Amino acid sequence: HADLSYTLRPAKGSCLHCLQLPPVGGDTLFANMALAFEALSPAMQRLVEGLEAVHDLTHGRSHQDATPEQRAATAKRNPPVIQPLVHVHPQTGRKALWLSEWMCTRIVGMTEAEGRGILDFLCRHSTREEFTFRQRWRVGDVLMWDNRATVHMALADYPLNAQREMLRTSISGAPLGR
């Protein structure tokens, strides 16, 4: 996911500081969404450039076990927003995919089947090994990233009773979406 993509003011950047790690696991994966866009065929680039996706916090992994009441309360505080599927980085001018498997529910103006096929393809494509980086944390590490061209995922590949403690902060971004 990209931090706060489900809001009208997604994070510009984020920073993690590793305080405590489990004995094994707990890495974070990052994907370069500009490289992923650039590796698409010209025909696919043209197709996705004009599309918009719905980003919905209640679709995320953190809400998969939520009750209907909890989902409704979250949706009231954070209603779904529509974001461009491709956006232009304001400093570099590079185009980047702007989607997340956990937040994107559908593509505006398409049937569920049409949109799901495109979203699933783009999520698989953007997380291919050649676009990714794996942060193998050590206590004390600090990592910053540009949230406008990156998605990330903390791996839950450690025992449930183990501790992984991170301090995260996000840098407020420019308005995006509707």
Known catalytic residues are 1, 3, 152, 168
Cα-Cα-Cα-Cα dihedral sign, residues 158, 14, 90, 53: positive
